[in-house]
Amino acid sequence: MATCTHIDHVHVTELPAAVDGCADCLQSGEPWLHLRICLECGHVGCCDDSPNQHATAHARDSEHPIIRSLEPGEDWSWCYVDEVGMRITGIEGETRIPPSPLGG
């Protein structure tokens, strides 16, 4: 079974209380579906089912390996390098997010 060797890249230990949406979509005025947060720098991007896949683009451009879902009730994380899903303990808080502009 694959394991993630990038836990030392996790610098976000407290989730923001609220976000306005995908940072990149908000800037360009485009819609997103689901939100993911980069656990290395806190960048909020959109999922791979969103038109622009900003979370994956951020991980690729910045080489930040791990994201976590910001969707209500979801606490899973994903490492792009190891391609493995996991739950990372020790991350506090829950983020209030607006409804998706795409209705998902």
Q: Which of residues 13-32 bind Zn ion (CB under 5 A)?
A: 22, 24-25, 32
Asked if 95 touches Zn ion (CB under 5 A), the answer is no
Strand order across the beta sheet in which 84-86 lies:
44-46, 35-38, 66-69, 77-79, 84-86
Task: Select the residue interacting with Zn ion from 16, 71, 75, 82 (CB under 5 A).
Answer: 82
Asked if 4 touches Zn ion (CB under 5 A), the answer is yes
Q: What count of other Cβ atoms lies within 10 Å of the Cβ of residue 38? A: 22
Residue 10: CA atoms inside 13 Å, Cβ hemisphere, count?
20
Task: Select the residue interacting with Zn ion from 40, 56, 67, 68 (CB under 5 A).
Answer: 40
- β-strands 35-38, 84-86 pairing: unpaired
- Answer for the pair 41, 65: CB distance below 8 angstroms, yes or no: no
Task: Select the residue interacting with Zn ion from 15, 33, 35, 79 (CB under 5 A).
Answer: 79
Binding residues for Zn ion, rule: CB under 5 A, are: 4, 6, 22, 24-25, 32, 38, 40-41, 43, 46, 52, 54, 62, 64, 79, 81-82
